[in-house]
Amino acid sequence: MTTSVKTPVSDLAAPPSFTDALRVWARIGVLSFGGPAAQIALMHREIVEERGWLSERQYLNALSFCMLLPGPEAMQLATYAGWRLHGTIGGLAAGLLFVLPGAAVVLGLAGLYAAFGNLPLATSLFLGVKATVVIIVIEALLRISRRALKGWIHWALAGSAFIAIFFLALPFPLIIAAAATVGFLHHDATPIAGAGASMHARPIRTTATTALIWAAVWWLPLLAVALAFDATILPQLALFFSQLAVVTFGGAYAVLAYMAQDVVNHHGWLSAGEMMDGLGLAETTPGPLILVTEFVGYMAAYRAGGISAGVAGAVVTLWATFAPCFLWIFVGAPYIDWIGSKPRLHSALAAITAAVVGVILNLTIWFALHVFFAEVSQLRAGALHLWLPVFGTFDWRAAVLAVACGWLLLYRHWGIAKVLTMAAVTGVALVAATS
């Protein structure tokens, strides 16, 4: 049995060499600050707008697909882009380079945190970084909304998704499922331009083989760790974070609520304050926000056996968190264009993308509140939930830096790396001058 997978013809740039692509994946990995919204924006800018390696439709279809998967959607989107250009080796390169720079930084900061506690220098250094990221996220929101919201129904889905997640705190999977259902039922039967010009077959047995191989890549090392170190905390970490990788949909923010409760209340690996410090470190370093799991793994194992155990705990946690992402993408990626070529399924993906605009707006406001205010509380009144800043904790330094970064990025068109460096240095200087 075979399934036809259609690859659309588009006015794309010539595929880059693997070496050129590696440089871009490494650049994205180093500059991917600010969580999923900023990372999605950065990749869009690098591989769609500036280089034309993916078309707008391919990118948005892939983004919608990744939003349906458990785990970090931005890392999975990077893996898909690498796979699209250079197959499995390209997907591995893009996915690993998206994660490893941030993982190295988080490991170093976790080691320093375990030894010395919270780091004022890191806090001041990343003040400017976070201010820059606010602007990057806002720019992404505007760009993606212009491309994703093509009619009244898309605007309605985006607005409904924002209300559902920001004011009602409804589960992310429910929001995405509802949007997909609306899109599927309210489809446009017009043939999709550029779809289906070329085809190749993907046998079901090939998909099954791919799934078995990557399931083995995920589980066999963890089983080996469990057998070799059964008297340590490592098997517990492997099992907990493997379960987390499967059951948590909606990206890093969905994972955090589930993880924090179990890590603090059930397992007692970290205190609530340490959990928040870990989240702060992950938010201000490059790479997926879900790298906070590495911090948890390090701290839990460090307490049980010192530095070497902490490093082992971080490695086991990283493997359990990110190995499943390659499984999902390498199994599903060949079918994304095929899905996008079917009017009803394409309409469902477009509806998901519209809902994602509302979700990104929610993340934008959430992130901006936590950058500009030292304290943010959540007000609950029945079914309503609302994030409210403590206005007395407003950080004028972050606001000034954000305005300056907005001017440099949006009007002077400086590069992201240059603006991040300037903002980080200025942030350290402002903190030193006002302390």
SS3 state at 376: strand
- pLDDT by residue (tens digit) across 289-310? 789 899 999 999 999 899 999 9
166 or 118, which is more confident = 166
Read off the pLDDT of residues 119-136 as tens digits, 9 standing for 90 and up.
Answer: 677 677 778 877 887 887
Give me the pLDDT at residue 1, please: 39
Residue 156: pLDDT band (50, 70, 90) is very high
pLDDT at 195 over 60: no
**pLDDT of 338 above 70:** yes
Q: Tell me the three state secondary structure of residue 202.
A: strand
Query: Using DSSP, how many helices (H) and how many strands (E) does the chain show?
Result: 16, 4
CA distance 235 to 245: 15
- Which comes out higher in pLDDT, residue 100 or 355? 100
Q: Residue 265's pLDDT is what?
A: 73
Closest CA to 364 of 164, 141, 144, 173: 141
Asked if 61 and 41 count as a contact pair (C-beta separation under 8 A), the reply is no
- Which of 45-49, 87-91, 167-171, 228-232 has the lowest average pLDDT? 167-171
What is the predicted pLDDT for the residue at 361? 86
Which pLDDT belongs to residue 420?
Answer: 80
β-sheet bridge partners, residue 394: 373
Task: Count CB-CB contacts under 10 A for residue 4.
Answer: 12
% pLDDT > 70, the chain: 87
pLDDT at residue number 81: 96
